A and B are shown apart, each in its own frame.
Chain A
Amino acid sequence: MTSAPTPLLAIRGLHAAYGKIEALKGVDVQIDAGEIVALIGANGAGKSTLMMTIFGKPRARAGQILYEGRDITDVPTHEIAHLRIAQSPEGRRIFPRMSVAENLQMGADATECTDAEREATLERVFSLFPRLKERYVQRGGTLSGGEQQMLAIGRALMSRPRLLLLDEPSLGLAPLIARQIFDAIRTLNRQDGLTVLIVEQNANHALKLAHRGYVMVNGLITLAGTGAELLQRPEIRAAYLEGGRHG
């Protein structure tokens, strides 16, 4: 990938900790506009922490997070969503007693957009995930796992983000549904120019989808490269791809 003069998101020497436990120990990640970047690694490597630190919870102890060249390291959590960064958190976390329509509306509430823009975004979400349109009057909690994931992504898209952070979108999903989700992400990237940072345990899927990838071990980035390169690396194959995972 050709790198733009200012990357959309640049993370430099980021440290974060939960109490005394250091979760990030100097992470450097760069995401250019229009890219899909995958972040892979084992459980507890700090992938989700990195994603949450971008949102300021937990706060970075050291290092910088630059978004479009602007330092957002100390911006309050609730204001980050207004910068058109959206997050689909781990475990989906949709609002179970609220309807699908309300869940989607929640995504749009935090951003200032006109009714027409909101309608257009909603139509876009429905065209990506027609199931959500079928189910828009249902309560979120009555959806299947895959539909809930679609709703979580749809809800994040409602804020019309430039950068979408996806935490484990294929977690607990049937392979076929996971493929649909990944297809939708690819479509969003190609047609809408959405930049995506995706955290995944399913390294094979994620690296095939992504332009570039980072491998995280114990709070540090140990490898970086294009998706295809990383897929070929023997240590990646040994650590994340073989060992029972098929596909």
Chain B
Amino acid sequence: MTATPHETTKASRTAGIPFLLKTAFINALIALVLFSLMVGIRTEAGSDGQLTYWARFGDVAALVGAVFGGSIVIELLRQWIGPTGAEKLVPPSVQSGMSFIGRYLAPALLIFTLLVPVIFYNQRYILDLAILVLTYVMLGWGLNVVVGLAGLLDLGYVAFYAVGAYSYGLLATSFGWSFWICLPLAGILAAFWGVLLGFPVLRLRGDYLAIVTLAFGEIIRLVIINWQSLTGGPNGVSGIPRPSFFGIPLDNSDDGLAAKLGIEYSPTHRIVFLFYLILALALLTNWVTIRLRRLPIGRAWEALREDEVACRALGINTTTTKLTAFATGAMFGGFAGAFFATRQGFISPESFTFQESALVLAIVVLGGMGSQLGVALAALTMIGGFELFRSLENYRMLVFGMAMVLIMIWRPRGIIGHRAPTVYLTKAQVISSDLVKEGHG
């Protein structure tokens, strides 16, 4: 888009003005076409039920004007701080600072996360939000296996979240099984459904795969709504037992953990327990993913993302590779679902709409496909930001849309776009430092 190579700022400005105006004009024209019907004509049911409508020229003009001005501003921003030649503009001191931050960001975040319940012990709202963020971090990490590593675009990830949640919800309410028995079962069942989805889509890639997985997510939701005798249909499952501390309930009773420890009971105990539970589950997801990436199966996932034909030529069984990716991702989705069910105590199909899939996918893509830290940061910004901008009400989606567009313009590969290699030579080799740097580029 920015076809003007600029050596000096002045030259770029003089060369860019006709281009700027042209882009802005085209954008304004598109806005005019879009808004002329959406905003320009207001329809309402009249007093007798007839259709009344009137034109709102002023509103359309204001919107088109805003688009015109806005696209000039965005284009200018892109030319000045956009990706073209931006790397040379960053001074070395900032670069070394960035790499320092990069190295210690993950451990620092982890330590901070561990301390969240201590720091915010009395702020229930923040604790709840932190649990929500961690749930999405876990979902993001789970989907990352399928989308980020294996490169299989899955738009129906929420299906596995739902399978996990209903597995726990139904097993716990029907048979009274404890959370710690149901958790692995929820994971296994979700993985089973992952394989079931995997079989028909083995030959599909890209757009086609996305459509089928999208349909799969909807099918699971519709089955849950309509299979009333098992799932309770739209009414959902209620009265799902809260998790216990390995058999010891976290309540105000004489058998409760508080009574056994001889401390005063507080409802926050349960929240803190849930917080550490989801943190442990998320870290488990992360640890397993990192380990798998260094094993042949993880490398095979990544190679599959890169080139399927080459994989086959190298003797990789693409069928099992794809199925294990689906199963692994689905299993973590199932764990997260079981956690969701025990946290909420109530589940209904409304929690498992396509919007959830889209949100988790957005987290993975924005974070940088395949990057664990990037996904965590994206989950934090997306979910945390959602709450932060709650006061903006209707405009919050607008703000988010804009933020996502901007991230994709400036960091097309996501917040953390680079992937760390997993294979090194076993013997330490003396190589010049600039070679290593180039490799990380």
A137-B314 contact in complex given A99-B423, A106-B299, C-beta closer than 8 Å: no
Kindly state whether residue B441 has any CB partner on chain A within 8 Å.
yes
Kindly state whether residue A208 has any CB partner on chain B within 8 Å.
no
**Interface set, chain B 276-300, CB cutoff 8 A to A:** 296, 299-300
**Interface set, chain A 40-84, CB cutoff 8 A to B:** 55, 57, 76-82
Kindly state whether residue B9 has any CB partner on chain A within 8 Å.
no
Contact assessment for B310 and A95 in the assembled complex, using a CB-CB cutoff below 8 Å? yes
How many B residues touch the partner, as a band?
20 to 34
Kindly state whether residue B18 has any CB partner on chain A within 8 Å.
no
Residue in contact with B439 in the complex, picked from A77, A105, A110, A137, CB distance below 8 Å: A137
A88→B300 CA distance, assembly (Å): 17
Which of B296, B307, B440 is most buried by chain A, counting CB atoms within 10 A of its CB? Answer: B307
Interface flags for A145-183 (1: CB within 8 Å of B; 0: not) read 000000000011001000000000000000000000000
Residue in contact with B423 in the complex, picked from A57, A82, A105, CB distance below 8 Å: A105
Residue in contact with A106 in the complex, picked from B305, B314, B431, B435, CB distance below 8 Å: B314
A110→B317 CA distance, assembly (Å): 9
A77-B312 contact in complex given A93-B307, A98-B421, A137-B439, C-beta closer than 8 Å: yes
B430 to chain A, nearest CB (A): 12
**Interface set, chain A 73-116, CB cutoff 8 A to B:** 76-82, 87-89, 93-99, 101-102, 104-107, 109-111, 115
A142-B421 contact in complex given A107-B314, A110-B315, C-beta closer than 8 Å: no
How many A residues touch the partner, as a band?
35 or more
Task: State the 7 A-B residue pairs at the shortest beta-carbon distance, nearest first.
Answer: A81-B315, A110-B315, A137-B439, A95-B306, A99-B421, A93-B310, A78-B317
Mostly, the B contact residues are helix
Kindly state whether residue B263 has any CB partner on chain A within 8 Å.
no
Kindly state whether residue B62 has any CB partner on chain A within 8 Å.
no
A95-B303 contact in complex given A102-B421, A137-B436, C-beta closer than 8 Å: yes
Kindly state whether residue A129 has any CB partner on chain B within 8 Å.
no
Contact assessment for B315 and A95 in the assembled complex, using a CB-CB cutoff below 8 Å? no
Contact assessment for A98 and B424 in the assembled complex, using a CB-CB cutoff below 8 Å? no
A90→B413 CA distance, assembly (Å): 29
Kindly state whether residue A235 has any CB partner on chain B within 8 Å.
no
B262 to chain A, nearest CB (A): 55
Contact assessment for A159 and B306 in the assembled complex, using a CB-CB cutoff below 8 Å? no
Residue in contact with B314 in the complex, picked from A57, A98, A101, A110, CB distance below 8 Å: A110
Kindly state whether residue A202 has any CB partner on chain B within 8 Å.
no
Kindly state whether residue B438 has any CB partner on chain A within 8 Å.
yes
Kindly state whether residue A229 has any CB partner on chain B within 8 Å.
no
B66 to chain A, nearest CB (A): 39
With CB as the reference atom, state the residue of chain A lying closest to B296.
Answer: A109
Contact assessment for A78 and B318 in the assembled complex, using a CB-CB cutoff below 8 Å? yes
**Interface set, chain B 302-341, CB cutoff 8 A to A:** 302-303, 305-307, 309-310, 312-318
B99 to chain A, nearest CB (A): 16
Contact assessment for A109 and B316 in the assembled complex, using a CB-CB cutoff below 8 Å? yes
Kindly state whether residue B56 has any CB partner on chain A within 8 Å.
no
A79-B315 contact in complex given A98-B303, A105-B299, C-beta closer than 8 Å: yes
A142→B438 CA distance, assembly (Å): 9
Kindly state whether residue A124 has any CB partner on chain B within 8 Å.
no
Interface flags for A126-138 (1: CB within 8 Å of B; 0: not) read 0000000011111
Contact assessment for A109 and B300 in the assembled complex, using a CB-CB cutoff below 8 Å? yes
Kindly state whether residue A192 has any CB partner on chain B within 8 Å.
no
Contacts of B316 in A (CB 8 A): 78, 106, 109-110
A96→B431 CA distance, assembly (Å): 22
Residue in contact with B424 in the complex, picked from A80, A101, A111, CB distance below 8 Å: A101
Kindly state whether residue A22 has any CB partner on chain B within 8 Å.
no
Kindly state whether residue A119 has any CB partner on chain B within 8 Å.
yes
Contact assessment for B312 and A55 in the assembled complex, using a CB-CB cutoff below 8 Å? yes
B148 to chain A, nearest CB (A): 11
Contacts of A110 in B (CB 8 A): 314-316
Kindly state whether residue B228 has any CB partner on chain A within 8 Å.
no
Kindly state whether residue A139 has any CB partner on chain B within 8 Å.
yes
A110→B303 CA distance, assembly (Å): 12
Contact assessment for A78 and B315 in the assembled complex, using a CB-CB cutoff below 8 Å? yes
Contact assessment for B310 and A94 in the assembled complex, using a CB-CB cutoff below 8 Å? yes
